[in-house]
Structure 1
Amino acid sequence: MQAAIIIPARFESTRFPGKPLARIKGATAIERPLISRTVDVARAVGAQCGVLVATDDPRIAEIASAAGVQTAIISEMCLNGTERCAAAVREVALDAEIIVNLQGDAPLTPPYAVARLIAEMAADPAVMVATPMVRCAPETVARLRADEAAGRVGATTVVADGAGDALYFSKRILPHGGGGAECPIFLHLGLYAYRRRALEHYAAVDPTPLEQAEGLEQLRFLDEGIRVRMVEIEEPAGGLWEINNPWDIPYVEHALGLRGIA
């Protein structure tokens, strides 16, 4: 089944302006732009997936082009990464049944996570959107609680039903008081696979109150009655933190070092 990976990378991030250009150290202490490291993840998925960087800034596009991937300059009017993916599909007339949204601030995304989402959708034609979750280890739960106590907002958690479809996403810890053996906490990884018609529907409707209240784009799908399939993946060494704020960089650099990624 034909699939394409789009990396939305916005310069004007509210919490971290210029984030895609931030220099990130790997295992060899060599600094490279964040967008370059995310492109590496996409290319590691395999030659069967095309890769495109959708951005609002020519400096980001220049780095992506130097890395050998296609780019599209997208309007600053897009509200989130999903809308940028839809705009990129239109901009370059992308012909793919499955569109993967690999967020530009997620260089710790394991390539196998992308492959599993594509496989889930290929196996079940009823799945319109798929996204991964990770069962939190005790140390991850401790960090989430520490961030919440300090007023730091970043990671997203999710609860799902018995069929594996999402019930709700939040930047607060879900479920409240969870984390025991019988009620685990799942961290949501900001990676999505959409069927083309689901992505087009998303872009055609207005933002919803829940989406705006939580600041989470995926809630628009739930409000529109489009189920979101959760695919559980293993947490790799160093965790799966995204770079939402400057203080996330040391965690990501530590994980890159643990994995031996230069």
Structure 2
Amino acid sequence: MKPSVPCVAVVPARFASSRFPGKPLADILGRPMFWHVADRAARAPELSRVVVATDDERIMAAASEHGVEAVMTSPDHASGTDRIQEAAGLLGLPEETVVVNVQGDEPALNPAMISELVAPFADPKVRVTTLAHRVDPERAKCPDQVKVVWTASGDAMYFSRQPIPHHRDGGEEIYWGHVGMYAYRLPALARFTALPPSYLERKERLEQLRFLENGIPIRVVPTRHTSRGVDRPEDLDVVRRLISESI
């Protein structure tokens, strides 16, 4: 069931990056990376609008050149979530809007993941959603792969860089890896950005724990899809191949 509220994707695209400065402008098959992200997101039928939120005039100029809607935001935001909150205000989105946080370094994004992410908002009680997919026990050991466990009703109990749950008595080891995409109702997003970083958030270095520590539930949606992000320049060849194969 599709949500009955407007759904808008915002793509945070910050120029500065310690590992890959200027990453949103990286060339992929003749177009900047952020264009591919926006193009993939726009294929999700639930979205009425896709907007890039940047802090850099070069990205704004490239967005204008390639016909991508963009807004200029402050360079001082601590996270992409804060940038999305400012962008939502600049765009004057209605309070009932569901805002989808589409990471700016996911040029091979599968649009079906956005459809899965926003589907739970057909339930008016859902305030925030995210995705998770099965990972093998070896991958679960990696602290860069965040793990998640959730309740019988589908709301997240905890996210951790450690393998959770701990399989004390052996048996089949099942782990769910968190996929770092989110969708929020605007009031939940506004409340999150108004709150200070929480204790567990600081310990795990996972900002989504701020929601849980402050009683804001996150609905976890299992997905069979995976994505391949760009963290470093050497990742570009992989996503170029993936995008070429999907054309």
- The interval holding the TM-score normalised by the smaller chain is 0.7 to 0.9
Q: What's 1:58 paired with?
A: 57
The one-letter amino acid of 1:118's match is V
1:87 aligns with 2:86: yes
1:204 aligns with 2:194: yes
1:162-188 residue CA offsets vs partner (Å, 9 max, x unmatched): 22211222344434569x874422222
The one-letter amino acid of 1:261's match is S
2:134 and 2:23 map into 1 onto residues whose CA distance is 27
Question: 2:146 pairs with 156, 159, 162, which one?
Answer: 156
CA shift at 1:218, angstroms? Answer: 1.4
The CA RMSD over aligned residues, in Å, is 2.5
TM-score, normalised relative to structure 2: 0.86
CA shift at 1:144, angstroms? Answer: 5.8
Q: Return 87-96 or 246-255, whichever deviates more.
A: 246-255
Q: Return 240-249 or 104-113, whichever deviates more.
A: 240-249
Q: What's 2:40 paired with?
A: 41
Q: What's 1:241 paired with?
A: 228
Does the CA-based 8 Å contact 2:9-2:47 persist in structure 1?
A: no
> Structure 1 pair 212/118, CA: closer, same or farther in 2 (3 Å)?
same
Q: Return 245-254 or 193-202, whichever deviates more.
A: 245-254
1:75 aligns with 2:38: no
The one-letter amino acid of 2:104's match is G
Question: 1:231 pairs with 221, 236, 241, which one?
Answer: 221
CA shift at 1:142, angstroms? Answer: 4.3
Does the CA-based 8 Å contact 2:130-2:218 persist in structure 1?
A: yes
Q: State the SS of the aligned residue for 1:76.
A: coil
Q: State the SS of the aligned residue for 2:9.
A: strand
1:229-251 residue CA offsets vs partner (Å, 9 max, x unmatched): 0001112xxx4132233444344
2:7 and 2:130 map into 1 onto residues whose CA distance is 15
2:237 and 2:167 map into 1 onto residues whose CA distance is 28
The one-letter amino acid of 1:6's match is V
2:234 and 2:162 map into 1 onto residues whose CA distance is 19
> Which 4+ runs in 1 deviate beyond 6 A?
none
Does the CA-based 8 Å contact 1:20-1:33 persist in structure 2?
A: yes
1:216 and 1:16 map into 2 onto residues whose CA distance is 21
> Structure 1 pair 67/44, CA: closer, same or farther in 2 (3 Å)?
farther
CA shift at 1:214, angstroms? Answer: 2.7
Unaligned runs of at least 5 residues, structure 2 = none
> Structure 1 pair 177/249, CA: closer, same or farther in 2 (3 Å)?
farther
2:39 and 2:210 map into 1 onto residues whose CA distance is 29
The one-letter amino acid of 1:82's match is T
Q: State the SS of the aligned residue for 1:62.
A: helix
1:31-73 residue CA offsets vs partner (Å, 9 max, x unmatched): 5322111111111113742111101111122222333232111
TM-score, normalised relative to structure 1: 0.81
Q: Return 127-136 or 239-248, whichever deviates more.
A: 239-248
Identity between Structure 1 and Structure 2 (%): 38
Q: Return 70-79 or 167-176, whichever deviates more.
A: 167-176
Q: What's 1:7 paired with?
A: 11
Q: State the SS of the aligned residue for 1:189.
A: strand
Q: State the SS of the aligned residue for 1:134.
A: strand
> Structure 1 pair 108/212, CA: closer, same or farther in 2 (3 Å)?
farther
Does the CA-based 8 Å contact 2:63-2:70 persist in structure 1?
A: yes
What is the number of equivalent residue pairs in this alignment? 241
